[in-house]
Amino acid sequence: MRLSTYFLPTLKETPNDAQIVSHRLMLRSGMIAQECAGIYHWLPLGLRVLQKVEEIVRQSMNEAGFLEVLMPTLQPAELWEESGRYDAYGKEMLRITDRHDRRLLYGPTAEEAITDIVRRFMKSYKDLPRVLYQIQWKFRDEIRPRFGVMRGREFLMKDAYSFDLDAESARETYRRVMHTYMVTFKRLGLKAIPVRADTGPIGGDLSHEFHVFASTGESDIYYDKAFDALDLKGDENDLNQLMNLYAMADTMHDPKNCPVPQEQLNHTKGIEIGHIFYSGTKYSDSMKATVMGEMGKQIPLESGCYGIGVSRLVGALIEAHHDDYGIIWPESVAPFKIGLINLKKGDSLSDETCEKIYHTLLSQGKEVLYDDRDESIGVKFSTMDLIGIPTQIIVGPRGLKDGNVEIKNRRTGEKILCTLDNLYQRI
Amino acid sequence: MRLSTYFLPTLKETPNDAQIVSHRLMLRSGMIAQECAGIYHWLPLGLRVLQKVEEIVRQSMNEAGFLEVLMPTLQPAELWEESGRYDAYGKEMLRITDRHDRRLLYGPTAEEAITDIVRRFMKSYKDLPRVLYQIQWKFRDEIRPRFGVMRGREFLMKDAYSFDLDAESARETYRRVMHTYMVTFKRLGLKAIPVRADTGPIGGDLSHEFHVFASTGESDIYYDKAFDALDLKGDENDLNQLMNLYAMADTMHDPKNCPVPQEQLNHTKGIEIGHIFYSGTKYSDSMKATVMGEMGKQIPLESGCYGIGVSRLVGALIEAHHDDYGIIWPESVAPFKIGLINLKKGDSLSDETCEKIYHTLLSQGKEVLYDDRDESIGVKFSTMDLIGIPTQIIVGPRGLKDGNVEIKNRRTGEKILCTLDNLYQRI
């Protein structure tokens, strides 16, 4: 992509109303623009990151054998009356009336909608177990939206729902989802931890939140140091450790009665990016979702529900990966892997060399952002650092005299000289 | 994918309320399920097709140099008051009030939203021209939704918006979009034609609809036979022909005054799947979207808007590609390219052979649906035909005695015997 024909409205000034670093950096780097309170446009650079995050989440779900569906953003009120949550959900639910005075709502979550699908189409024990998921926009009418995409009103969520024949199988599914989540966060370049949580209005008796380690996080987490050694090969042992190791938010952590000795305990700041629940038969009871069992009896479905805040993850990634100059994207979610900087646009050797590098990298399938603008060197350097491109190739007349270009590592700041011949091997 | 662990709720009965073939086949093949009037769930098989269509549309837009953004589904009423369309749009607009009594609406289209972005962030003639697009869910509160996803209320649309400095450049962009659309439809496996259209409430003085050729279409199109010979290499000549060849819907076609002689005229039934408008300065005037020109004067932007009905395309594809047995997917959008049928589940040679074929094809990156269910041969054949998988591999004990399997072409019905050794070459 050539920056001269791209749409990257970076801001020089830090916006006044942005209180946290991810919000400031997303606005400054032209990733998002506010439409109205808690509702954001995703501009080209931001959307590329959102799509990469979404695709990593999707691939991880698919590899685990979960099946993707897509439910509408709007849902009929009747479904929520069946489960008893229509009145209970309160003002966070955006309620809508259509031209025929039918009551709709913008889905804040989809337990009712998926349970309705399952009770209509899954009739036999042979149809189970299944985990269905979607990646879809949700709306929660937060009374005070803030922190950009971290607590917006319209947000992208991956929500999965499991259906099993009995509690034991449902708990096994819950463990499998937990493991899939840990794999997902690792692929995203995030260090995350499952923390015991209240089940709240979703119901059920087992629940974990997932928190990303970030020094700017809102929550305080105390956890067993053994977590730091986990590398998640995906075996039974990993799962058992994930379920059993101690990890608590400060609201639930009691130093006096903690089963883990002080010296075995670590502390971190965290950002919640996922929440899973074993909800049992809460929805299948109220909505009469049953299948015919092997012995000819109707069996209510055992279910769980599992969320990841996909748009929120973009903010969390920045909270976990930035410095004073801007964002530092992990490779897996970088909007472009390589930034190409032409220090002297108009200098024919610089222009030709950049063109050649640009086309060679594109032909290798690399994602390159080429800064071919007629701007100062300072602006070009600070733009590339601000938007966090992991690897930068810097091309100018002085280096080219000796056949050299520079390669800069955004994370370490390290620059190395490199001949043009060696460039493609080094990258 | 193994059918035994998939979620494919096919229906034996044709649903009563489905009046057109694509709606019937989408319900029968378990692609979609109705949530409420005009609002549909996309089940796993349907979603795979929708995602493939979406990706072809996205790739075509990207190759043309158009830049993807994502605007929220909800928009503030104030923007539409600026353009004067808030009251004008009528009851098809779904109007919403949030907890703070702010007026929102579910976007039926996004001219106002994109114009607001552009006026905020594009300040100079150097920032133009640009074409921005999104693929996002829209809502139009149709008084009588029908025909499944063909005239639903919540639907997926690709909407693009162009911004140019002057009318000439804007018209050139319009031509470029038209060409991109023709390439897109060809890739999707559709024969489509641009037809002169009224500009209607969008405004402006130049507009084309795109219609897919389908014998079940709602519209009657009369067009110059020369269209059938176009193969769109993308040169100037193609573009000129596209713009200038005669094509009219019957409402605008006047046989007496048609400039094309009767013998040079063809007639087809068509389904509208896209609509493009050159809207001039309609929105930039009312919303004051200007940039600083080269001579230091503020210039109102010249714009166009360009829609493709992405979810509607799935229905249109089926209208264009089906027979009495079900859907016949073009390769490019088939949910799975290959269907593998095990005629005798439980027969050890059949099971082993199928497993081997299944894993070999997966390792080659092929998308395979393996019918490993314990069902009758008749059910397996009719399921695979119904859901329209282009190539079927049929494996059973009789053929295997001689080392053979059958390959069936869904479109032609042709079956050929093939040795196991030759199978992978033949596919």
Q: What are phi and psi for residue A396, nearest 5 degrees?
A: -150, 165
Question: What is the predicted pLDDT for the residue at A203?
Answer: 56
Confidence of residue B255 (pLDDT cuts 50, 70, 90): confident
Cβ pair B44:A72 closer than 8 A: no
Closest residue to B68, CB basis, from A44, A73, A74 = A44
Average pLDDT for chain B: 94
Taking CA B161 as the corner, what is the angle to CA A33 and CA B49, rounded to the nearest 5 degrees? 90
The per-residue pLDDT for range B363-418, each reduced to its tens digit, is 999 999 999 999 999 999 999 999 999 999 999 999 999 999 999 999 999 999 99
Closest residue to A47, CB basis, from B69, B106, B121 = B69
The per-residue pLDDT for range A47-71, each reduced to its tens digit, is 999 999 999 999 999 999 999 999 9
Mutate to test the interface with A, among B8, B35, B159 (most CBs of A within 10 A): B35
pLDDT above 80 (res B123)? yes
Cβ pair A36:B132 closer than 8 A: no
Q: Which residue carries 């992405």 as its tokens?
A: B310
Contacts A63 to B, Cβ<8 Å: none
Shortest distance between the Cα of B67 and any Cα of chain A, in A, equals: 7
Cβ pair B40:A120 closer than 8 A: no
- Maximum distance among all Cα pairs of chain B, rounded to whole angstroms: 83
Structure tokens at A191: 């260090």
Confidence of residue B251 (pLDDT cuts 50, 70, 90): confident
Among the residues of A133-195, which ranges form H helices?
Answer: 167-187
Structure tokens at A225: 């140091």
Taking CA B409 as the corner, what is the angle to CA B404 and CA B414, rounded to the nearest 5 degrees? 75
The per-residue pLDDT for range B332-348, each reduced to its tens digit, is 999 999 999 999 999 99
Cβ pair B74:A143 closer than 8 A: no
Shortest distance between the Cα of A398 and any Cα of chain B, in A, equals: 29
| Among chain B residues, CA nearest to A119 | B9
Contacts A67 to B, Cβ<8 Å: 6-7, 44
Shortest distance between the Cα of A83 and any Cα of chain B, in A, equals: 16
Return the half-sphere exposure (C-beta side, CA atoms, 13 A cut-off) of residue A264: 10
Q: Where are the beta strands (DSSP E) in A20-153?
A: 32-36, 39-42, 67-68, 74-76, 94-97, 103-106, 130-139
Q: Which residue carries 């024949």 as its tokens?
A: A165
pLDDT above 90 (res B241)? no
Please name the amino acid found at residue A401: K
Closest residue to A74, CB basis, from B39, B70, B113 = B39
Shortest distance between the Cα of B79 and any Cα of chain A, in A, equals: 10
One-character DSSP codes across B193-211: EEEE---GGG--SEEEEEE
pLDDT in single tens digits along all 427 residues of chain A: 999 999 999 998 888 888 899 999 999 999 999 999 999 999 999 999 999 999 999 999 999 999 999 999 999 999 999 999 999 999 999 999 999 999 999 999 999 999 999 999 999 999 999 999 999 999 999 999 989 999 999 999 999 999 999 999 999 999 999 999 999 999 999 999 999 887 665 556 789 999 999 888 888 999 999 888 887 766 777 777 788 889 998 888 888 889 999 999 999 999 999 999 999 999 999 999 999 999 999 999 999 999 999 999 999 999 999 999 999 999 999 999 999 999 999 999 999 999 999 999 999 999 999 999 999 999 999 999 999 999 999 999 999 999 999 999 999 999 999 999 999 999 8
Question: Distance from first CA to last CA of chain A, Å, rounded?
Answer: 18
Closest residue to A113, CB basis, from B35, B99, B127 = B35
Mutate to test the interface with B, among A74, A120, A157, A164 (most CBs of B within 10 A): A74
Cα separation, B136 vs A42, in Å, equals 12
Cβ pair B69:A35 closer than 8 A: no
Cβ pair A33:B121 closer than 8 A: yes
Confidence of residue B204 (pLDDT cuts 50, 70, 90): low
Shortest distance between the Cα of A9 and any Cα of chain B, in A, equals: 6
Contacts A139 to B, Cβ<8 Å: 74
Best CA proximity match to B50, nearest among A244, A71, A162: A71
Question: What is the predicted pLDDT for the residue at B112?
Answer: 98
Peptide bond into A129 cis (omega under 30): yes
Cα separation, A383 vs B403, in Å, equals 63
Cβ pair A72:B37 closer than 8 A: no
Confidence of residue B139 (pLDDT cuts 50, 70, 90): very high
Closest residue to B70, CB basis, from A47, A106, A120 = A47
Cβ pair B130:A70 closer than 8 A: no
The per-residue pLDDT for range B268-295, each reduced to its tens digit, is 999 999 999 999 999 999 999 999 999 9
Cβ–Cβ under 8 Å, residues B45 and B335:
yes
Shortest distance between the Cα of B404 and any Cα of chain A, in A, equals: 31
Cβ pair B137:A73 closer than 8 A: yes
Cβ–Cβ under 8 Å, residues B94 and B100:
no
| Among chain A residues, CA nearest to B35 | A75
Cβ–Cβ under 8 Å, residues A133 and A67:
yes
Which residues are within 8 A (CB) of B279 and not within 5 positions of it... i.e. 6 or more apart? B111, B199, B202, B203, B204, B303, B304, B305
Cα separation, A128 vs A131, in Å, equals 9
Mutate to test the interface with A, among B43, B144, B370 (most CBs of A within 10 A): B43
The CATH code that applies to domain A6-326 is 3.30.930.10
The per-residue pLDDT for range B148-193, each reduced to its tens digit, is 999 999 999 999 999 999 999 999 999 999 999 999 999 999 999 9
Closest residue to A40, CB basis, from B36, B72, B91 = B72
- The third-level CATH classification (topology) of the domain covering B3-326 is BirA Bifunctional Protein; domain 2 (3.30.930)
Mutate to test the interface with A, among B2, B12, B36 (most CBs of A within 10 A): B36
What percent of chain B clears pLDDT 70, i.e. is strictly above it? Answer: 98
Shortest distance between the Cα of B415 and any Cα of chain A, in A, equals: 32
Shortest distance between the Cα of B88 and any Cα of chain A, in A, equals: 15
Shortest distance between the Cα of A222 and any Cα of chain B, in A, equals: 37
Question: What is the predicted pLDDT for the residue at A204?
Answer: 60
Contacts A42 to B, Cβ<8 Å: 69-71
Shortest distance between the Cα of B42 and any Cα of chain A, in A, equals: 5
One-character DSSP codes across B393-418: EEE-HHHHHTTEEEEEETTT--EEEE
Cβ pair A102:B36 closer than 8 A: yes
Closest residue to A39, CB basis, from B40, B65, B72 = B72
Cβ pair B67:A7 closer than 8 A: yes
Burial group, residue B5, by CB count within 10 angstroms (0-12, 13-18, 19+): middle
Closest residue to A74, CB basis, from B9, B44, B154 = B154
The CATH code that applies to domain A336-426 is 3.40.50.800
Contacts B122 to A, Cβ<8 Å: 7, 9
Cβ pair B71:A35 closer than 8 A: yes
| Among chain A residues, CA nearest to B128 | A5
C-alpha torsion sign, points B416, B419, B422, B423: positive
Among the residues of A248-294, which ranges form H helices?
Answer: 282-286
Q: Give SS3 for B63.
A: helix
Structure tokens at B309: 């009905």
Structure tokens at A55: 């695709």
Cβ pair B121:A67 closer than 8 A: no
Question: What is the predicted pLDDT for the residue at B143?
Answer: 95
Cβ pair A41:B154 closer than 8 A: no
Best CA proximity match to B230, nearest among B182, B264, B268: B182
Residues linked to residue A408 through DSSP beta bridges, in sequence order: A392, A415
Residues linked to residue B402 through DSSP beta bridges, in sequence order: none
Q: How far is CA A77 from CA A74, A103, A120, A163, B43, in A?
A: 9, 6, 18, 23, 21
Cα separation, B367 vs B338, in Å, equals 6
Cβ pair A132:B7 closer than 8 A: yes
pTM, full prediction:
0.97
Structure tokens at B193: 């034609």
Q: How far is CA B199 from CA B195, B202, B208, in A?
A: 12, 6, 8
| Among chain B residues, CA nearest to A138 | B73
Domain positions in chain B are: 3-326, 336-426
Best CA proximity match to A32, nearest among A20, A21, A44: A44
